[in-house]
């Protein structure tokens, strides 16, 4: 759950000695949808330096006779600017200035000069800006506090302006406001209060204050500037749109939009606003009659005419009455919000936190501009207030209500933090860090008290790209996306909150958010590192080691978020490196300071889903150390003597970058005061597929020679330890042979008998071979690259070019020596051939034209004859008697091409016994060898 917050901060330029302040008494803003809060079209999110004084500027107007009215923030625990005495004087007619003791620099001199020359560029600029915002100017002052170059702000002082002195129509007093315009054209509204004919305001700035009035206030008949925020309309007299409550630890207001809770009322307000716009145009036309008067006088006439037209409009007055006098229902959502806010006050106040001394304003909205669930606004120019998103509450789910409780407590805590010496420097990051811890503390409290009983999602602390910023340093402007610096600082605070939570679990569990805020007072500035070391009682060295361990513990989150935030993160990642198969890339370290972490995206643009191992090899002489500089892949890895092996990274496809896949490497920096290692870097090798191996048969042996492909660049660079050859047999056999790099230049052989056992020597076999690079881990484990593509080899059964057949029958025996064929085995088949006692047969590779020579010897007096048949055609080649020398030869020219099997029979005619030898004719004939392999790819 992302509780993003926007803090409106102001950065003044130290080089400005005299800052122009334009104080204007202005008439009516007539647009029903603009409002007069910070949402002005000219409003900017501004920045501040460490010399700026951050206050909430929420005090009520202060004058001599109304000192008790002021609810000034207690400054006893903040630094005084100087030893100035209390001030009370009139710098010019109609203006009174007031300041408490020690609130200003000792030499501060505040002057007000009435600007009456309409041709003055400063006046023209102010009038133009006011006109853009539909504000009518009644008077303009140039304010000067006489600061030295090193003085950014004058301190807090209070101003009272007499509207009667300006000859302003008393009917307009209650609608009058204070505004300011600065030299850069920024427009602001200040918190002000009208008492009789005197308008009061207070400021701690020396720039651009303006007075104006709000036309929307005429709807309810009273001024409502403080109730207008971003188009929100409230009725502060009844509890219809404002609910005020008090607790033992402070008071608060809850405001909500009619459109969200009371749509019928909202429609009436819109109708009334449309009538206002109509009469505004009529008043502008009426003013043209007085064009000879000063513009400020013309504006006063226009405002008075506008008010009169509204009072005479019966339709408008009816709407006004219905809006103000109807008893509108009290929304259930608001009831729950009040309960949650009350609980937050009781928790924070009861825990001893310094609570706001003023009435805090909570605005309930349907969705916030920043997309979060809560937002604390502490602008310079108006009362501090909080915004809360009520969208989820309308569903009525218990978990969403529990989430809302945490959001309320988180935001209210920010106002508590303003009382812990956060006035003089940018404390947003520090405050957000502690707010993460406060969420954990509050969740435990609410659960123990039965307020929360669901699994609440606390603020995310995973924006790891922002860890590039040192904990007490500023963002690198070149790495921050435009207009995102405030959000970067806030998110950086969230990140450090996650780290502090880790320290609570692993170092010291009794550290609370209050512990940290109390320790904050030990330091002039909100130093994150010093405060953490103090509350946890650890050294800088220990802090750096814990930081390293925390980063490593979250590495899987980092890797995942690379895909989610790349291109959307407010803090830019370093440029991604494309390291595809067979490639390597040297990366220089990117160090932004101590206690930082840089994510290095590695990208592949392969067009299909793929997995690849990587090897990260530090430069020679680089020492990786847990508390100094370390390189850690976000995925699993194995340490090797050469570096870090990342096995088979599965890349996710980036939705916005088709065909690209990412992984990430963390560069973690602890204490980098010794810059030796920072001068080096590391190389990332993609351990891709190498080419396939090849085999070469070695004649007259039972071996094949392995031929390796050309070495890869990784192998040539020396980071590869060797090759592994894997051969699988269709007979179920498999071998793996490891070849160290040193052996690759020597001839290597494989014994075929490892792949085809002797008992299967006559069978054909299919072999599948792959080759793969490997590196050795620190424990001698074999770590593989991507295997080569599979290549298939066919090996025929082993053959013999001669055979001896011995046939025994009783006391007789016959031996046949057969040659000229390619025999793969001889088998005795029994005694069932033509009534004979037995016969023998074999298969062979022969072809037409081959000569089969058979030599027979026998101790029998029998006469043998030889006959040959082609089985598929049953074609006989005739028969021939074995000669007296015991030999007979047949040339197979008489067989047709399609004869694939022949039978040769020796026939003992006298005893009706025969010996049959069968041969298979195949398409391919192999020259005889003893033994020989036929290898076909």
pLDDT 10s digits, 683-723? 999 888 888 998 887 766 677 888 899 998 889 999 999 99
Task: Quote the CA–CA distance of 731 and 779 in Å, as a whole number.
Answer: 34
DSSP states along 224-254: -GGG-STT----SSSTTSEEEEEETTEEEEE
Q: Which residue has the higher pLDDT, 6 or 769?
A: 769
Q: Which helix (H) or strand (E) holds 498?
A: helix 485-506
3-state secondary structure 429-466: HHHHHHHHHHHHHHHHHHHHCCCCCCCCCCCCCCCHHH
CATH code reported for the domain at 800-921: 2.60.40
- Please check the confidence at residue 117 and state whether its pLDDT lies above 50: yes
Question: Confidence band (pLDDT; 50, 70, 90) for 125?
Answer: confident
pLDDT band, residue 346 (cuts 50/70/90): very high
Which pLDDT value is given to residue 250?
Answer: 92
Mean pLDDT over 287-296 rounds to 88
Share of the chain above pLDDT 70, in %: 58
Q: What is the pLDDT of residue 147?
A: 58
The residue written with tokens 């494989």 in the block is: 750
What mean pLDDT is reported for the chain? 69
Report pLDDT digits (tens) over 418-460.
888 654 345 788 999 999 999 999 999 999 999 999 988 888 8
Indicate whether this model's pTM tops 0.85.
no
> Which residue in 822, 852, 820, 827 sits closest to 842, CA to CA?
827
Q: 787-799 burial, b if ≥16 CB within 10 A, otherwise e?
A: ebeebebebbbbb
Give yes or no for residue 839 having a pLDDT over 90.
Answer: no
pLDDT of the residue at 16: 22
Four-way CATH pick for 694-795: 3.30.300.20, 3.90.1150.10, 2.60.40.10, 2.40.30.10 = 2.60.40.10
Both tokens assigned to 6: 């926007």
pLDDT band at 9 (very low <50, low <70, confident <90, very high): very low
* pLDDT score at 576: 65
- Report the alpha-carbon distance of residue 96 to residue 192 in Å, rounded: 14
Packing angle of the helix pair 485-506, 428-448 (nearest 10 deg) = 50
| Percent of the chain surpassing pLDDT 90 | 20
If you average pLDDT over residues 625-648, what whole number do you get? 88
What average pLDDT score do residues 572-583 get? 66
Find tokens 């607790």 and name the residue: 247
Residue 398: its pLDDT value, please? 86
pLDDT of the residue at 509: 95
- Among the listed residues 553, 550, 569, the one whose alpha carbon sits nearest the alpha carbon of residue 561: 569
Cβ atoms of 826 and 844 within 8 Å: the answer is no
Q: pLDDT class for 572, splitting at 50, 70, 90?
A: low
pLDDT at residue 24, rounded to an integer? 34
In angstroms, the CA 361 to CA 104 distance is: 29
What is d(CA 931, CA 200) in angstroms, rounded to the nearest whole number? Answer: 113
Cα distances from 221 to residues 172, 312, 424, in angstroms, run 11, 14, 40
Residue predicted with more confidence, 818 or 921 = 818
| In the predicted structure, residue 312 carries a pLDDT above the cut 80 | yes
Select the more confidently predicted residue: 911 or 52. Answer: 911
SS3 at position 132: helix
Check residue 534 and give its pLDDT. Answer: 95
Please compute the mean of the pLDDT values over residues 264-280 and round it to a whole number. 82
* Average of per-residue pLDDT across 127-138: 76
Give the architecture (CATH level 2) of 328-422.
2-Layer Sandwich (3.30)
What sign for the dihedral angle of Cα 545, 550, 556, 557?
negative
Is the pLDDT higher at 869 or at 200? 200
Place 148 in a pLDDT band, splitting at 50, 70 and 90.
Answer: low
Q: How many CB atoms lie within 10 A of CB 192?
A: 24
pLDDT score recorded for residue 603: 73
Q: At 283, is the secondary structure helix, strand, or coil? A: helix
Helices (H), 49-178: 121-132
* Cα distance between residue 318 and residue 302, in whole Å: 23
Residue 878: phi and psi, rounded to 5, are 95, -170
Looking at residue 772, what is its pLDDT?
94
pLDDT at 223 exceeding the cut of 70: no
Structural domain spans, the chain: 21-226, 328-422, 426-538, 574-680, 694-795, 800-921
Euclidean distance between CA atoms 78 and 83, whole angstroms = 14
Instruction: Please give the pLDDT value at position 40.
Output: 29
Average pLDDT over residues 214-238: 32
Q: How far apart are CA 3 and CA 413, in angstroms?
A: 13
Q: What is the structure's pLDDT at 508? A: 96
pLDDT over threshold 90, residue 541: yes
Q: What is the pLDDT of residue 240?
A: 44
Q: Is the pLDDT of residue 316 over 60?
A: yes
Task: Give the model's pLDDT for residue 313.
Answer: 92
- Average pLDDT in the 670-692 region? 84
Record the tokens describing residue 806, joined without a space: 């011995």
Residue 29 has pLDDT above 50, yes or no: no
* pLDDT at residue 299, rounded to an integer: 83
The pLDDT score that the predictor gives to residue 719 is 93
Comparing 220-234, 294-308, 618-632, 645-659, the range with the smallest average pLDDT is: 220-234
Read off the tokens for 91: 């710098």
Cβ(501)–Cβ(436) below 8 Å = yes
More confident residue, 245 or 8: 245
Cβ atoms 931, 699 nearer than 8 A: no
Q: Is the pLDDT of residue 606 over 80?
A: no
Do 328-422 and 800-921 share a fold?
no
The residue among 578 and 481 whose pLDDT is bigger is 578
Check residues 301 and 603 and name the one with the higher pLDDT.
301
Q: Which of 73-87, 630-644, 774-788 has the lowest mean pLDDT?
A: 73-87
- In order, the DSSP letters of 172-197 are GGGGEEEEEE-TT--EEEE-EEEETT
């Amino acid at each position: 759950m992302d509780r993003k917050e926007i803090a409106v901060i102001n950065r003044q330029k130290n080089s400005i000695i005299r800052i122009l302040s334009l104080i204007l008494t202005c008439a009516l803003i007539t647009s029903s949808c603009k409002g007069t809060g910070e949402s002005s079209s000219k409003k900017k999110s501004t920045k501040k330096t460490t010399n700026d004084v951050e206050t909430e500027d929420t005090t009520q107007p202060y004058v001599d006779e109304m000192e008790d009215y002021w609810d000034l923030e207690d400054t006893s625990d903040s630094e005084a600017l100087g030893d100035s005495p209390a001030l009370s004087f009139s710098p010019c007619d109609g203006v009174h200035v007031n300041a408490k003791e020690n609130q200003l620099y000792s030499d501060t001199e505040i002057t007000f000069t009435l600007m009456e020359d309409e041709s003055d560029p400063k006046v023209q600029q102010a009038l133009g800006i006011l006109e853009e915002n539909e504000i009518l100017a009644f008077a303009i002052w140039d304010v000067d506090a006489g600061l030295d170059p090193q003085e950014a702000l004058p301190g807090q002082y209070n101003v009272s302006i007499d509207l009667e002195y300006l000859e302003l129509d008393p009917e307009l007093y209650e609608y009058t406001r204070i505004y300011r315009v600065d030299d850069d054209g920024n427009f602001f509204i200040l918190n002000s209060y009208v008492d009789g004919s005197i308008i009061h305001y207070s400021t701690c700035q020396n720039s651009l204050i303006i007075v104006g009035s709000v036309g929307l206030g005429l709807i309810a008949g009273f001024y409502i500037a403080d109730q207008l925020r971003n188009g929100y309309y409230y009725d502060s007299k009844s509890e219809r749109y404002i609910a005020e409550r008090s607790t033992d630890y402070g008071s608060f207001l809850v405001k909500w939009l009619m459109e969200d809770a009371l749509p019928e009322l909202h429609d009436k307000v819109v109708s009334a606003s449309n009538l206002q716009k109509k009469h505004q145009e009529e008043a502008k036309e009426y003013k043209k009659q007085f064009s000879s008067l000063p513009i400020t006088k013309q504006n006063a006439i226009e405002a008075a005419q506008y008010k009169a037209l509204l009072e005479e409009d019966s339709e408008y007055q009816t709407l006004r009455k219905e809006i103000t006098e109807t008893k509108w229902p009290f929304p259930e959502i608001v009831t729950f919000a009040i309960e949650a806010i009350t609980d937050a006050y009781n928790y924070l106040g009861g825990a001893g936190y310094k609570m706001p001394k003023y009435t805090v304003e909570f605005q309930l909205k349907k969705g916030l501009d920043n997309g979060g669930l809560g937002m604390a606004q502490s602008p310079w120019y108006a009362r501090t207030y909080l915004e809360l998103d009520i969208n989820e509450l309308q569903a009525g789910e218990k978990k969403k209500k529990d989430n809302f409780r945490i959001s309320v407590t988180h935001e209210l805590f920010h106002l508590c933090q303003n009382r812990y010496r956060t006035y003089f420097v940018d404390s947003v990051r520090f405050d957000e860090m502690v707010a993460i811890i406060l969420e954990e503390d509050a969740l435990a409290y609410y659960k123990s008290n039965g307020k929360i009983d669901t699994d609440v999602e606390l603020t995310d602390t995973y924006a790891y790209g922002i860890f590039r910023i040192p904990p007490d340093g500023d963002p690198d402007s070149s790495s921050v996306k435009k207009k995102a610096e405030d959000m970067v600082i806030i998110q950086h605070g969230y990140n450090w909150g996650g780290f502090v939570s880790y320290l609570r679990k692993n170092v010291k569990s009794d550290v609370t958010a209050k512990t940290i805020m109390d320790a904050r007072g030990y330091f002039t500035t909100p130093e994150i590192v010093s405060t953490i070391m103090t509350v946890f009682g650890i050294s800088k060295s220990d802090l750096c080691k814990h930081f390293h361990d925390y980063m490593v513990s979250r590495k899987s989150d980092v890797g995942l978020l690379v895909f989610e935030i790349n291109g959307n993160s407010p803090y830019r990642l370093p440029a991604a490196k494309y390291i595809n198969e067979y490639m390597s890339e040297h990366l220089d370290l990117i160090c932004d300071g101590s206690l930082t972490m840089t994510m290095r995206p590695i990208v592949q643009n392969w067009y299909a889903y793929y997995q690849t191992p990587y090897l990260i090899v530090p430069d020679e002489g680089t020492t990786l150390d847990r508390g100094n500089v370390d390189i850690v892949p976000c995925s699993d890895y194995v340490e090797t003597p050469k570096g870090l092996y990342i096995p088979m990274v599965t890349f996710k496809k980036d939705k916005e970058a088709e065909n690209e896949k990412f992984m990430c490497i963390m560069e973690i920096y602890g204490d980098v005061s010794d810059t030796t290692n920072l001068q080096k870097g590391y190389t990332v090798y993609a351990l891709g597929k190498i080419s396939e191996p090849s085999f070469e048969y070695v004649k007259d042996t039972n071996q094949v020679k392995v031929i390796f492909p050309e070495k890869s660049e990784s192998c040539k660079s020396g980071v590869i330890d060797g090759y592994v050859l894997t051969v699988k047999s269709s007979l179920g056999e498999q071998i793996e042979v490891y070849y160290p790099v040193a052996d690759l230049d020597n001839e290597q052989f494989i014994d075929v008998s490892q792949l085809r056992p002797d008992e299967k020597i006559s069978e054909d076999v299919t072999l599948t071979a792959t080759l793969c690079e490997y590196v050795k881990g620190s424990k001698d484990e074999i770590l593989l690259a991507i295997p080569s593509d599979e290549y298939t080899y066919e090996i025929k059964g082993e053959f013999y070019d001669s055979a001896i057949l011995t046939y025994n029958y009783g006391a007789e025996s016959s031996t046949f020596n057969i040659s000229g064929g390619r025999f793969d085995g001889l088998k005795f088949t029994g005694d069932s051939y033509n009534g004979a006692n037995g016969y023998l047969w074999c298969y062979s590779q022969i072809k037409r034209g081959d000569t089969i020579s058979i030599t027979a010897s026998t101790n029998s007096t029998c006469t043998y004859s030889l006959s040959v048949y082609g089985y598929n055609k049953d074609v006989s080649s005739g028969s021939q008697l074995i000669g007296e020398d015991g030999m007979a030869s047949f040339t197979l020219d008489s067989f047709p091409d399609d004869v694939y099997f022949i039978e040769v029979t020796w026939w003992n005619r006298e005893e009706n016994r025969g010996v049959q030898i069968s041969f298979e004719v195949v398409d391919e004939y192999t020259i005889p060898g003893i033994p020989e392999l036929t290898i076909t790819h």
